[in-house]
Amino acid sequence: MTRFSSISYWLLWSVFIILAIISWRMAWKRESFRKRALPLLRLSLYLWSVVSLVMIAAVVIYLTTFDGWKDLTRGRVHRIAHDIFSDTASLTRIEIFLLDGDDSQKANTRFEWRGTENGDPIYGETTVSGGALRGFLETWNGQPLNGSHTGAMCHDPPYGFRGYDGDRLVFETTICWRCQNIAFVPFHGSEIYYGFDSESDIAKELLNRCDQLLPYKRH
């Protein structure tokens, strides 16, 4: 979701709220309208006004309790991409999956995305936690992203990552240094690519850390 899409959502909800207020006033406040309007029309307006108020309440809860405010002002895709490499204070472990290697290393499991049927073969995996996690996050945090492009028209990642807060999955992503992008699922069933500066020193350091944890046979 780009910033333009966020503005479009603001406009859409503004129109919806205006229509809800108009219908509510006509259905509940205008005595002259209630007398003249057909019963079916009055019933429709009553129902519409009630549904509208419920939806407005749901939107308010989403904006104030969840990440809706960030989604509407920054864009959900941009927000999730940057949170992967910044909103990590609650993490208790990161699972790292090797997605490239020799056939002799291949396991019978796949790195599958939530809500999608896509998946990559897993050649090895490890978990980083405790003191090792703090050191790993020093490199993980602040990875350079570029939301203005999606990298190359490919995605062949050597590693996949899942971050957890206890048993709660916080993020799930794969990183491709060659194609200069990351992949994640911002909406159910929709995998997208997001630009990643793989030539930066901190990105190269992250790759080296992963290579040390899960060495693989390069093609």
pLDDT on residue 3: 42
Q: Which of 53, 44, 47 is nearest to 21 (CA)?
A: 53
pLDDT on residue 45: 65
Q: Does residue 155 share a domain with residue 102?
A: yes
pLDDT on residue 215: 74
Asked whether residue 219 is domain-assigned, the answer is no
pLDDT on residue 1: 40
Regarding beta strands 124-129 and 110-112, do their DSSP bridges make them parallel or antiparallel, or are they unpaired? unpaired
Q: Which long-range contacts (CB under 8 A, 24 or more apart) does 103-112 make?
A: 105/216, 105/217, 111/160, 111/174
Q: Does residue 56 share a domain with residue 33?
A: yes
Asked whether residue 61 is domain-assigned, the answer is yes
Q: Does residue 90 share a domain with residue 55?
A: no
Asked whether residue 178 is domain-assigned, the answer is yes
Of the three residues 74, 100, 117, the one that is the final residue of a domain is 74
pLDDT on residue 2: 41
pLDDT on residue 30: 54
Asked whether residue 218 is domain-assigned, the answer is no
Cα R_g (the chain), whole angstroms: 24
Q: Does residue 110 share a domain with residue 58?
A: no
Q: Does residue 96 share a domain with residue 21?
A: no
Q: Does residue 191 share a domain with residue 172?
A: yes
Using an 8 Å Cβ cutoff, are 84 and 184 in contact?
yes
Q: HEC states along the chain? A: CCHHHHHHHHHHHHHHHHHHHHHHHHHHCCHHHHHHCCHHHHHHHHHHHHHHHHHHHHHHHHHHHCCHHHHHHHCHHHHHHHHHCCCCCCCCEEEEEECCCCHHHCCCCEEECCCCCCEEECCEEEEEEHHHHHHHHHHHCCCCEECCCCCCCCCCCCEEEEEEECCEEEEEEEEECCCCEEEEEEECCEEEEEEECCCCHHHHHHHHHHHHHCCCCCC
Q: Does residue 99 share a domain with residue 52?
A: no
Residues of the domain holding 25: 3-74
Asked whether residue 203 is domain-assigned, the answer is yes
First to last CA, the chain: 36
Asked whether residue 79 is domain-assigned, the answer is no
Q: Tens digit of pLDDT per residue, the chain (219 long)?
A: 444 444 555 566 666 666 666 665 655 555 555 555 556 556 666 676 677 777 777 766 766 665 555 555 457 788 889 999 999 999 999 999 999 877 777 777 888 876 556 678 899 999 999 999 999 999 999 999 987 776 667 888 999 999 999 999 999 999 999 999 999 988 766 788 899 999 999 999 999 999 999 876 554
Its pTM surpasses 0.85: no
Under 8 Å CB-to-CB from 154, ≥6 apart: which residues?
176, 178, 179
Under 8 Å CB-to-CB from 217, ≥6 apart: which residues?
101, 102, 105
pLDDT on residue 198: 93
Distance, in Å, from the CA atom of 217 to the CA atom of 219, rounded to the nearest integer, reads 7
Asked whether residue 126 is domain-assigned, the answer is yes
Q: Does residue 89 share a domain with residue 60?
A: no
Q: Does residue 90 share a domain with residue 37?
A: no
Number of domains in the chain: 2
